[in-house]
Amino acid sequence: MSELNLTFFMLLGYAQAHWFVVLLFVFGAAGLNYTAWVQKGAFFNRDLLKQTAIGFGGLFVFLCLTLPAMTGSSLAMLGYWVDWMLLIVMAGGYAFAISLWVYPILRLRESLKPAD
Amino acid sequence: MTKLYKTSDITRRKFLLGGAATLAAMTTSFNAQALKNTPVHVVIAGSGSAGISIANRLARVLKKGRVTVIDRKETHYYWPGLTLVATGAWPKSKVLGQNADYLPSNVDWIKEMVAEFDPDNKQVVTDTGRAVNYDYLVVATGVEYNYHAIEGLDTDAIGHNGLASVYHSPDAAERSWDAIKKYSEQGGNGFFTLPSTPIRCAGAPLKMTFLTLDRLQQNGGFAKAKMNFYSATNNLFGLPWFNQFILDRYHDAGMTVKFRTELKAVDTDKRIATFVDADGERFETDYDLLHIVPPMRASAPVRNSKLAWREGNMASGGWLAVDKETLQHINYPEVFGCGDVNGTPRGKTAATVKMSVPIVVANLLATIAGQELPASFNGYTSCPLLTKFGAAMLIEFDYNGDLTPTYPFIDPHKESWLAWVMKEQLLKPTYLQMLKGNV
Ligand SMILES: Cc1cc2nc3c(=O)[nH]c(=O)nc-3n(C[C@H](O)[C@H](O)[C@H](O)COP(=O)(O)OP(=O)(O)OC[C@H]3O[C@@H](n4cnc5c(N)ncnc54)[C@H](O)[C@@H]3O)c2cc1C
């Protein structure tokens, strides 16, 4: 119980410390997705989802390689399975979050293309 | 001696089982039943991490009561960040805050210092002569650094001419980085000291040493450096496995470690340090870097009052005489202690504050409500031991020296990036949540 409470407030505190980035991300993602949603045609598009998934994969690998350095450490210091788990969760989380912007942007770009 | 409230087996078990949830429930039930309308006056001496956390929690519960905080200090120091400031990883601004932003609006804040504790008359007198009466008192005045015990030491010299000390203040930590940076480039004789008194965050001097070794490697001074660690105690760390681990690491880095060797004097102009060794022999040595950990004790008003230990190994530092489990004063049941001022074994860390604040609050509220003390403190303390930039060990333990990891999947014996991320990114936000009384 106490570790759940601690984790919750740890993450809440972290979010509060970076409130500007968090708000920018949330409102940006909500705005972009809403705008993409109200465009003509289906919101989900197989090709665009594929492109987003490829972007997610690339970003995930990039973050796996660079996150340790970005936090003042290095890949060489990850010697223990909890470190690898953290790296996967962090890289996956950030890559997923960025995808929440990327997909609607791709979708909007598609809908703004002049019809052939 | 005044009778102490005992923690019953049932409530103790309940606490151990339910942890924070039980505490929260206890606080809520006191709140609902009796405390909301109780017009008590609680005085909190000290507005550091312990004082502010307690003020926030009490202010929520004692709606009709009055909470008064006494402390002149307006700038809040995030002390655990000082090791990162003194090793050039953080700017000083990252450890500074304003107490006004953290204290609840419905407390009275007297911006004076307590000059005298008079527990027989339930009164404290401030340094302006103001007498403040209380029904209940929480002493949270932290530690006093006794730099004067080191002959010839002027704290203004910290940061100059090879003198460093992370403990003194954020300013001194920033200046210490100047001295350490220069040393990490030029090398020479480096000395890290440890006094014989209890100190806050016993891991900090060890982290300073590890991070200086890392800076030596990064900045090219390592091959020209001879590093030494002189401890006035019998070891480097209270837990044997970790003590050996640190010793091995220091030896691997070519360091000399001496025990029962205490810094007695320093000539900061000539860069000469004088130590007394285990046989009582004085010896002098030149230094290029001297990192000093000052002897520590309770602040004078506590030390000179009836609230201090009068016997036992905590008496010489004048530490607050509280029961180590209930954190209630051993003679004055209306007085509680929290944080570094407590004369309890181990644990002068913000992590100890985090774990003991809910216990002090629950026991204080129970005392006000005339009930048995429900909560018992196990002495939890924690030290994210930074072994290099980018890696740390998360060591958590109790009064008995038993490891008590919050997250059982994190092995305290292993250096990890995760522990570094926690220390560097997550602990300050968690600390601020603690100040608000949430964690
Ligand atoms: C360099 C360093 C590194 C640390 N690293 C860590 C770490 O990594 N992890 C960790 O958990 N802990 C760490 N700590 C320890 C932690 O910071 C302290 O244990 C914690 O801040 C203690 O809180 P406190 O409220 O008891 O004392 P403080 O925060 O010092 O507050 C005491 C307050 O009492 C006031 N006061 C003093 N005398 C009087 C008086 N007579 N009247 C009124 N007010 C008075 C002071 O002005 C001050 O505001 C570190 C400490 C240092 C110095």
pLDDT tens digits, B110-166:
999 999 999 999 999 999 999 999 999 999 999 999 999 999 999 999 999 999 999
User: What amino acid occupies position A27?
Assistant: F
Global confidence as pTM: 0.92
Ligand 1 atom 38, closest CA: B141
pLDDT at position B437 = 92
* B431 Rama sector, left if φ>0, alpha if ψ -120 to 50, beta otherwise: alpha
Residues of A in contact with B387 (CB under 8 A): none
Which ranges of B81-239 does DSSP label H, i.e. alpha helix? 82-85, 99-102, 170-186, 204-219
> How many A/B residue pairs have CB atoms within 8 Å?
89
CB within 8 Å: A74 and B409: no
The answer to whether the Cα torsion of B164, B166, B168, B170 is positive or negative is positive
Domains and CATH numbers, chain B: 5-145+298-378 (3.50.50.60), 147-296 (3.50.50.60)
Mutate to test the interface with B, among A4, A5, A6, A64 (most CBs of B within 10 A): A6
Residue of B nearest to A73 (CA): B390
User: What amino acid occupies position B254?
Assistant: G
* Residue A17, number of CB atoms within 10 A of its CB: 15
pLDDT at position B18 = 37
Across B46-113, the runs of DSSP E, i.e. the strands, are 66-70, 75-77, 96-98, 108-110
Map residue A102 onto helix, strand or coil: helix
pLDDT at position A115 = 66
Q: Is A79 on the interface with B (CB under 8 A)?
A: yes
Residue of A nearest to B405 (CA): A3
Q: How far is CA B41 from CA A81, B3, B339, in A?
A: 51, 22, 21
Map residue B248 onto helix, strand or coil: helix
User: What amino acid occupies position B70?
Assistant: I
pLDDT per residue over B57-88, tens digit each?
999 999 889 999 999 999 999 999 999 999 99
CB within 8 Å: A71 and B390: yes
Which residues fall within 8 angstroms of residue A107, CB to CB, at 6 or more apart? A36, A39, A43, A45, A48
Q: Which protein residues are within 6 Å of ligand 1, measured from CB?
A: B 45-51, 70-71, 73, 79-80, 82-83, 113-114, 140-142, 166-167, 200-201, 204, 299, 301, 339-341, 348-351, 353, 382, 384
Across B225-362, the runs of DSSP E, i.e. the strands, are 225-231, 256-258, 262-267, 272-276, 282-286, 289-291, 296-297, 335-337
Q: pLDDT 10s per residue in chain B (439 long)?
A: 333 333 333 333 333 333 444 454 455 455 546 677 788 999 999 999 999 999 999 999 998 899 999 999 999 999 999 999 999 999 999 999 999 999 999 999 999 999 999 999 999 999 999 999 999 999 999 999 999 999 999 999 999 999 999 999 999 999 999 999 999 999 999 999 999 999 999 999 999 999 999 999 999 999 999 999 999 999 999 999 999 999 999 999 999 999 999 999 999 999 999 999 999 999 999 999 999 999 999 999 999 999 999 999 999 999 999 999 999 999 999 999 999 999 999 889 999 999 999 999 999 999 999 999 999 999 999 989 999 999 999 999 999 999 999 999 999 999 999 999 999 999 999 999 999 998 8
* CB contact at 8 A, B191 and B287: yes
CB within 8 Å: A83 and B428: no
Distance of CA B218 from the midpoint of ligand 1 (Å): 31
Mutate to test the interface with B, among A71, A75, A89 (most CBs of B within 10 A): A71
* Measured distance CA(B391)–CA(B425) in Å, rounded: 13
* CB contact at 8 A, B40 and B62: yes
* Measured distance CA(A87)–CA(A79) in Å, rounded: 12
Question: pLDDT-derived band of residue A2, with 50, 70 and 90 as boundaries?
Answer: confident
Q: What are phi and psi of B204, to 5 degrees?
A: -60, -45
Distance of CA A109 from the midpoint of ligand 1 (Å): 55
Pocket test for ligand 1, best of B72, B336, B340 (most atoms within 8 A of CB): B340
CB within 8 Å: B417 and A68: yes
What tokens appear for B250 in the block? Answer: 């220091």
Q: What are phi and psi of B361, to 5 degrees?
A: -65, -45
Distance of CA B49 from the midpoint of ligand 1 (Å): 7
Measured from the Cα of B204, ligand 1's closest atom is 3
pLDDT at position B34 = 67
The one-character DSSP state at B6 is: P
CB within 8 Å: A73 and B18: no
pLDDT per residue over A8-38, tens digit each?
888 999 999 999 999 999 999 999 999 999 9
Which ranges of B97-169 does DSSP label H, i.e. alpha helix? 99-102
Measured from the Cα of B48, ligand 1's closest atom is 31
* CB contact at 8 A, B199 and B348: yes
Measured from the Cα of B352, ligand 1's closest atom is 11
pLDDT at position B2 = 32
Q: How far is CA B291 from CA A84, B158, B161, B220, B227, in A?
A: 35, 9, 12, 20, 11
What tokens appear for B384 in the block? Answer: 């994210």
* Measured distance CA(B436)–CA(B354) in Å, rounded: 11
The answer to whether the Cα torsion of A11, A14, A15, A21 is positive or negative is negative
Point out which residues pair with B125 in neighbouring strands.
B116, B131
Q: Which residues of B289-307 are buried (b: 16+ CB within 10 A; e: fewer)?
A: bbbbbbbbbbbebbbebeb
Residue of B nearest to A18 (CA): B429
What tokens appear for A75 in the block? Answer: 């890949």
* Measured distance CA(B349)–CA(B359) in Å, rounded: 16
Q: Is A20 on the interface with B (CB under 8 A)?
A: no
User: What amino acid occupies position B44?
Assistant: I
CB within 8 Å: B430 and A13: yes
The answer to whether the Cα torsion of B45, B50, B52, B55 is positive or negative is negative
Residues of B in contact with A13 (CB under 8 A): 426, 428-430, 432-433
How far does Cα B344 stand from its chain's mean position?
12
CB within 8 Å: A71 and B421: yes
What tokens appear for B428 in the block? Answer: 């300050």
Q: What percent of chain A has pLDDT over 90?
A: 82
Among the listed residues B143, B138, B140, the one whose alpha carbon sits nearest the alpha carbon of residue B336 = B138
Point out which residues pair with B52 in neighbouring strands.
none
Residues of B in contact with A4 (CB under 8 A): none
* Measured distance CA(B351)–CA(B374) in Å, rounded: 21
pLDDT at position B3 = 33
Among the listed residues B4, B24, B2, the one whose alpha carbon sits nearest the alpha carbon of residue B14 = B24
* B235 Rama sector, left if φ>0, alpha if ψ -120 to 50, beta otherwise: beta
pLDDT, mean of residues A83-91: 97
CB within 8 Å: A6 and B414: no
Distance of CA A70 from the midpoint of ligand 1 (Å): 30
Ligand 1 atom 49, closest CA: B48
Q: How far is CA A41 from CA A100, B235, B349, in A?
A: 19, 72, 59
CB within 8 Å: B416 and A82: yes
Ligand 1 atom 6, closest CA: B80
